[in-house]
């Protein structure tokens, strides 16, 4: 426990410094917000338009691709260093990992992560549109023997 005493002391000092800094800021600096102070500022150019409400889904898909390949590199680099000493188990483990990474990549591509053209309208399948298929004909009611249905009650 004695070997961790300097680390604990440093953490306590860092916490005290952070707390004192925030406290001194609240006490010593008066709050006078103005429209210029609270306005978003970027590169000296004031924004002329309103910010969009939501990011497009494509933004998140690109972020997922980045994270997937970033994690892949993090795990593949150590494997390349010690792959000879791992033997068949290491090759099997990295093959499973590579398959999982490839599967996530295929999923992202199938959701249009790299489609930069105009949005394509998806057509409905003709097989899905059948006038004879309704909830009454396709849903089987289980456990209603002896109970009155909504139609009989009305």
Where are the domains positioned within the chain?
54-115
- Hey, what CATH class is 54-115 in? mainly alpha
Q: Which pLDDT band holds residue 12 (cuts at 50, 70, 90)?
A: very high
Question: Torsion angle of alpha carbons 14, 17, 18, 20, nearest 10°?
Answer: 150
| pLDDT tens column, 27-78 | 998 888 888 777 776 666 666 777 667 767 777 778 888 888 888 888 888 8
Helix (H, G, I), strand (E, B) or coil at 91: helix
| pLDDT tens column, 92-132 | 988 998 898 888 888 878 877 777 666 666 655 555 556 66
Written as six digits, the tokens of 62 are 């690109």
Instruction: Name the pTM for this structure.
Output: 0.39
Written as six digits, the tokens of 14 are 């860092």
Mean pLDDT of 2-28: 93
């Amino acid at each position: 426990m004695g070997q961790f005493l300097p680390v604990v002391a440093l953490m306590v000092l860092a916490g005290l410094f952070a707390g004192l800094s925030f406290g001194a800021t609240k006490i010593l600096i008066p709050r006078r917000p103005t429209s210029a102070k609270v306005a978003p500022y970027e590169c000296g150019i004031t924004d002329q338009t309103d910010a969009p409400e939501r990011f497009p889904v494509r933004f998140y898909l690109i972020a997922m691709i980045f994270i997937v390949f970033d994690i892949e590199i993090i795990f593949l680099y150590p494997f390349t260093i010690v792959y000879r000493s791992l033997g068949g188990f290491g090759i099997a483990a990295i093959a499973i990992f590579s398959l999982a990474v490839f599967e996530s990549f295929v999923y992202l591509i199938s959701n249009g992560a790299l489609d930069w053209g105009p949005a394509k309208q998806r057509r409905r399948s003709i097989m899905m549109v059948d006038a004879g298929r309704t909830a009454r004909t396709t849903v089987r009611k289980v456990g209603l023997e002896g109970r009155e249905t909504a139609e009989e009650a009305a």
